[in-house]
Amino acid sequence: MIRRLVVGLTGGIGSGKSVAADEFGRLGATVVDTDAIAHELTEAGGAAMAHIKALFGEAFVAPSGAMDRRAMRDRVFSDPAARQALEALLHPMIRAEAERRMANAAGPYIVYVVPLLVESKEPRRRADRILVVDAPEEVQIARVAARSGLSEAQARRIMATQASRAERRAAADDVIDNDGTLDALREQVRALHARYVKMSTPSHA
C-alpha cells in the first residue's frame, strides 16, 4: 500500500477551511473532511441517527429524519455532558470512516480536514503536516453571521471553545492567511499544492 503524505487542515469557525479544502480537491488532492462525514452520519438514514434518537430523544430529530443541528448545537454548547456524549458517539464513527477513505485515496497526497485538530492534543497521530487556515476574529464572526445567521455572541461562544489563533499558529507547519480575497487564498493553496506534490514524490536521487 502506498503511504501518502497526510496534511491535517484546520482552523477556527469562519476561517475558510472548507473553501481551502475545495481548492485542494480541485487541484487533485484527496480531501477527507470530518465535518462532511459527520453530516453524512447525522442525515436522514445516517448510521448515527438511531443512536442520537436513543441518547437525546425525538426533540433532536428534525421532521426530515436528520439530526436537528440547531437544537443540538444549542444543547451541546450549554451542556458539557451532552457535548461529551455526542462526541463519544460520533468521533469513533468519524475516525473509522476517515481512515477508510484515506486508505482508498487516489490523489498524490491527502488533505485531512479536522476543525478541532489542534484541540485534540494529538495532532501528529494522523497528520504529517499541520496546515492552519487563519483569519482575524472580526472576519471570522462576519463570515459566520453571513453563512449561518449566528449572532456575534453565538459566534464568540463557539470560538471560546476552540483553540486561540496563537495556539493554532504555534502548532502549524504551514499557514494560509485568509483575510483577503478568494484569489489570494487560491494563490496560497496553489503554492502549497506544488510543495505537497513535491514532498509526496519519491526521490530517485
Domain boundaries, the chain: 1-29+109-205, 40-106
**Highest-confidence range of 71-85, 174-188, 190-204, by mean pLDDT?**
174-188
Question: Residue 5 pLDDT > 90, yes or no?
Answer: yes
Which amino acid type is present at position 155? A
At residue 151 the predicted structure's pLDDT band, cuts being 50, 70 and 90, is: confident
On the question of pLDDT at 205 being above 50, the answer is no
Q: Which CATH superfamily is domain 1-29+109-205 in?
A: P-loop containing nucleotide triphosphate hydrolases (3.40.50.300)
Dihedral pair phi/psi, residue 144, rounded to 5°: -65, -40
- % of residues, the chain, pLDDT over 70: 95
Average confidence (pLDDT) over 116-123: 75
> Which residues have a Cβ under 8 Å from the Cβ of 134 and sit 6 or more positions away?
11, 12, 15, 165, 168, 169, 175, 176, 177, 178, 179
77-87: average pLDDT: 91
The answer, yes or no, to whether residue 21 has pLDDT greater than 70, is yes
**Interaxial angle between packed helices 137-148 and 152-160, expressed in degrees from 0 to 180 and rounded to the nearest 10:** 120
Confidence band of 8 (pLDDT split at 50, 70, 90): very high
Task: Specify which of 52-56, 124-128, 138-142, 150-154 reaches the highest per-range mean pLDDT.
Answer: 52-56
Give mean pLDDT, residues 47-65: 95
C-alpha cell at 204: 530517485
Q: Is the pLDDT of residue 97 over 90?
A: yes
Mean of pLDDT values over 162-168: 90
pLDDT(49) > 70: yes
pLDDT of residue 123 exceeding 60, the answer is no
Backbone angles phi, psi at 131, to 5 degrees: -110, 120
User: Stretch 80-94: mean pLDDT, rounded?
Assistant: 93
pLDDT of residue 163: 87
Between these two residues, 124 and 194, which has the higher pLDDT value? 194
